[in-house]
């Protein structure tokens, strides 16, 4: 099976940056595309910080960090991806934006075997495949945050994805990145978010109803169920805008109240309180 040597990542945020980092650490040549120079500089600086932290923690040597940095390139131009064998889209959970990226990538990738993947949590892979002339090469490859720490990748073929594409994506995730994979049908939320998102939304409803403080809700799940972090702190880490976008897609898919974004979540996003990345959410990070 052909190994992936040239990876493209569209979006250098917390998920895209993490995917680029694990790809470069696994020896791949990686290009990260951001929307403008400022965003590209910010993505690079987050990645360099993460690699420096790995050096400080003794997880890589300075020489390995330098080699990893040499494998990481940043661009604002999607056409730089022409020679990529695999492109993973990791931009905001906005269907229109994603469709546009898939259409452009389909037109510019020169390798007929190139795989077009999305890190979406909730947008149907079949819709993204529909924007391309190579639906058999389109697949969901869903990572978990923080990508360098969490071992899982969900593989999500659509009804049109070729089995060979699934196997190449599995090989990439397991043999090249050292992750474990699980396979899910192309249903909004796949496996993990279909279970996690209703739980996070329930915690927000509980807080909104005044049942308990944010600290006590979180402490309850950390101490009582041995979760590494409580649901409100985890919502802040995922990003409240991202959580709302995922909930909205899942509600559109299933039309069940369990997926409906609670009013407090909507108002916080309206107010620019997006969690950790904006400095404030259920907790203050400033």
Give, in order, the Cα–Cα distances in Å from 192 to each of 103, 167, 181, 198, 270. 28, 21, 12, 11, 26
121 is catalytic: yes
- Residue appearing with tokens 């899910």: 184
State which of residues 68, 85, 118, 121 lies at the interface with ligand 3HC (CB under 6 A): 121
Query: Which tokens go with 133?
Result: 């002339």
Would you say 145 or 258 has its CB closer to ligand 3HC?
Answer: 145
Of 45, 44, 101, nearest to 78 by C-alpha is 101
For the purposes of burial, counting CB atoms within 10 Å of the CB of 226, is it exposed (0-12), middle (13-18) or buried (19 or more)?
exposed
State which of residues 1, 82, 92, 149 lies at the interface with ligand 3HC (CB under 6 A): 149
Would you say 41 or 59 has its CB closer to ligand 3HC?
Answer: 59
Alpha-carbon torsion 81, 104, 39, 239, what sign? negative
For the purposes of burial, counting CB atoms within 10 Å of the CB of 223, is it exposed (0-12), middle (13-18) or buried (19 or more)?
exposed
Which range in 95-103, 125-133, 228-236, 255-263 contacts ligand 3HC by CB under 6 A?
A: 228-236
Whether the CB-CB separation of 157 and 135 falls below 8 Å is answered with no
State which of residues 112, 210, 228, 257 lies at the interface with ligand 3HC (CB under 6 A): 228
Which range in 78-86, 140-148, 155-163, 265-273 contacts ligand 3HC by CB under 6 A?
A: 140-148
Contact between 52 and ligand 3HC per CB under 6 A: no
State which of residues 57, 63, 77, 284 lies at the interface with ligand 3HC (CB under 6 A): 57
Q: At what angle do helices 240-254 and 231-238 cross, to 10 degrees?
A: 100
Would you say 109 or 203 has its CB closer to ligand 3HC?
Answer: 203
Contact between 4 and ligand 3HC per CB under 6 A: no
Would you say 3 or 53 has its CB closer to ligand 3HC?
Answer: 53
Whether the CB-CB separation of 136 and 160 falls below 8 Å is answered with yes
| Residue of 21, 142, 249, 278 marked catalytic | 142
| Residue of 122, 158, 188, 193 marked catalytic | 193
Give least dist CB 50 to ligand 3HC, A. Answer: 5
Contact between 144 and ligand 3HC per CB under 6 A: yes
State which of residues 91, 238, 240, 245 lies at the interface with ligand 3HC (CB under 6 A): 238
179 is in an annotated binding site: no
142 is catalytic: yes
Alpha-carbon torsion 31, 36, 41, 46, what sign? negative
Give least dist CB 212 to ligand 3HC, A. Answer: 20
57 is in an annotated binding site: yes
Whether the CB-CB separation of 65 and 54 falls below 8 Å is answered with yes
Of 166, 167, 31, 4, nearest to 85 by C-alpha is 4
121 is in an annotated binding site: yes
Alpha-carbon distance 2 to 241, whole Å?
A: 38
Q: Active-site residues: which are they?
A: 121, 142, 154, 193
Q: Which residues are annotated as a binding site for CoA?
A: 50, 57, 121
Query: Given the rule CB under 6 A, which residues bind ligand 3HC?
Result: 50, 57, 121, 144-146, 148-150, 193, 196, 228-229, 234, 238
């Amino acid at each position: 099976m052909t190994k992936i040597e040239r990876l493209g990542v569209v979006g250098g945020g917390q998920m895209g940056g993490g995917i680029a980092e694990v790809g470069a650490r696994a020896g791949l040549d990686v290009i990260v595309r951001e929307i403008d120079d400022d965003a590209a500089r910010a993505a690079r600086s987050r990645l360099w910080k993460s690699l420096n932290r790995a050096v400080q923690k003794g997880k890589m040597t300075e020489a390995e960090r330098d080699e990893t940095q040499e494998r990481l390139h940043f661009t604002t131009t999607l056409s730089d991806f022409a020679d990529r064998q695999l492109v993973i889209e990791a931009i905001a959970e906005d269907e229109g934006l994603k469709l546009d990226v898939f259409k452009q990538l389909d037109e510019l990738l020169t390798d007929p075997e190139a795989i077009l993947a999305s890190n979406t949590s909730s947008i149907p892979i079949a819709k993204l495949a529909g924007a391309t002339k190579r639906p058999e090469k389109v697949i969901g490859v869903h990572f978990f945050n923080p990508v360098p720490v969490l071992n899982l990748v969900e593989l999500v073929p659509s009804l049109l994805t070729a089995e060979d594409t699934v196997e190449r994506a599995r090989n990439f995730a397991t043999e090249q990145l050292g992750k474990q994979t699980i396979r899910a049908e192309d249903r909004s939320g796949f496996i993990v978010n279909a279970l996690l998102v209703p739980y996070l939304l329930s915690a927000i409803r509980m807080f909104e109803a005044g049942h308990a403080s944010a600290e006590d809700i979180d402490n309850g799940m950390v101490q009582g169920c041995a979760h590494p972090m409580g649901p409100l702190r985890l919502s802040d880490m995922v990003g409240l805008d991202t959580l709302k976008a995922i909930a909205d897609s899942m509600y559109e898919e299933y039309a069940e109240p369990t997926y409906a974004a609670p009013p407090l979540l909507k108002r916080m996003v309206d107010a620019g309180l997006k969690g950790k990345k904006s400095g404030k959410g259920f907790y203050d990070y400033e």
